[in-house]
């Protein structure tokens, strides 16, 4: 599903005027993440009954979450996400509640990024013997000069390829950068399940400053819901991931940063709330 010239935006059960970020106490009293359900049927109020077990309108499993980046564990925000998404070890949880915990995993991309750069990056034909059939043995890329953006583009291709192979039945995934900060777990859960249920090909949980500007005068007092840029935190479906993995055209790979390439394939939706923030700590890896 895609936006239609910004005339329509996703609607959620919360009130845009009342939801506050977690720093203002919006995430329940004392930040109790035990109040959050990670079953999308529960989150969207569409929990199926036993007699309708074969007619589940929403995939009950919450999309797997992967933090990708090249920073050391002591420098990234993974532990912060863990503390907000997963119950503390001291919490008294039963097995049923534990089974509903979201899948949160960290993927270190430093080695892949450096190997790509050391091998000459996209300045020459690069033969990739990676396990993915879509990438294996293909001669690709011949850029006139090496750029950091090409390196990041390749990292995303490798990460997406790995996830598609490892989880062949997952419809979509949530990807976050290692300097992303989760501001409101409750709103994050609802928007993630909504994007998953509505089968959005792409949905950004990061509200870009550029979203404050809109072409339509009657919406000057509200931000746009159309994705502009940034890969801080987003939901993405398999079909779009496969398209990105298989992008080998020089006119695309050599020209566009990964977020601009994704934006070019849209338009896509983006949140209008302060759900995920961005520390913007700069680049990591050999030059």
Q: Within a 10 A sphere around the Cβ of 148, how many other Cβ atoms?
A: 14
Q: What is the pLDDT of residue 46?
A: 72
Is 210 exposed, middle or buried, given 0-12, 13-18 or 19+ CB atoms closer than 10 A? middle
253: nearest Cα among 165, 138, 168:
138
Q: What is the pLDDT of residue 147?
A: 81
* pLDDT tens digits, one per residue of 37-82: 788 888 887 765 444 434 344 456 899 999 999 888 888 999 999 9
CA distance 173 to 235: 6
CA distance 173 to 166: 12
Assess whether pLDDT exceeds 60 at residue 7: no
Cα-atom radius of gyration of the chain, to the nearest Å? Answer: 20
Q: What is the pTM of this model?
A: 0.78
151-155, 207-211, 212-216, 241-245: range with lowest mean pLDDT: 212-216
252: nearest Cα among 139, 128, 154:
154
Residue that the structure tokens 């940034």 belong to: 230
* pLDDT tens digits, one per residue of 208-226: 877 765 554 345 556 788 8
Q: What is the pLDDT of residue 54?
A: 41
Residue 10: which pLDDT band, with cuts at 50, 70 and 90? confident
pLDDT higher for 266 or 87? 266
With pLDDT > 70 as the criterion, what percentage of the chain qualifies? 66
Residue 192: which pLDDT band, with cuts at 50, 70 and 90? very high
């Amino acid at each position: 599903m895609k936006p239609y010239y910004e005339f329509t935006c996703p609607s959620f059960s919360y009130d845009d005027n009342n939801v506050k970020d977690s720093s203002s106490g919006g995430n329940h009293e004392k930040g109790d993440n035990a109040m959050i359900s990670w079953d999308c049927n529960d989150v969207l109020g569409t929990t199926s009954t036993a007699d309708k077990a074969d007619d589940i309108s929403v995939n009950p499993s919450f999309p797997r979450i992967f933090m990708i980046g090249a920073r050391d564990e002591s420098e990234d925000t993974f532990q912060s996400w863990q503390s907000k998404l997963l119950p503390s070890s001291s919490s008294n949880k039963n097995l049923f509640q534990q089974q509903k915990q979201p899948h949160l995993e960290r993927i270190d991309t430093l080695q892949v990024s450096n190997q790509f750069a050391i091998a000459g990056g996209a300045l020459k034909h690069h033969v990739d013997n990676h396990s993915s059939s879509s990438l294996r043995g293909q001669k690709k890329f011949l850029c006139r000069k090496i750029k950091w953006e090409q390196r990041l583009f390749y990292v995303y291709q490798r990460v997406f390829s790995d996830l598609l192979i490892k989880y062949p039945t997952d419809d979509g995934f949530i990807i976050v950068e290692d300097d992303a900060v989760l501001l409101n777990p409750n709103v994050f859960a609802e928007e993630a399940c909504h994007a998953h249920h509505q089968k959005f090909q792409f949905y950004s949980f990061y509200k870009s400053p550029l979203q404050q500007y809109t072409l339509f005068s009657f919406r000057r007092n509200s931000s746009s819901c159309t994705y502009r840029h940034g890969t801080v935190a987003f939901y993405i479906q398999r079909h779009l991931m496969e398209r990105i993995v298989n992008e080998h055209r020089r006119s695309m790979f050599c020209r566009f940063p990964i977020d601009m390439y994704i934006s070019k394939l849209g338009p896509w939706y983006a949140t209008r709330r302060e759900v995920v923030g961005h520390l913007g700590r700069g680049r990591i890896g050999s030059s």
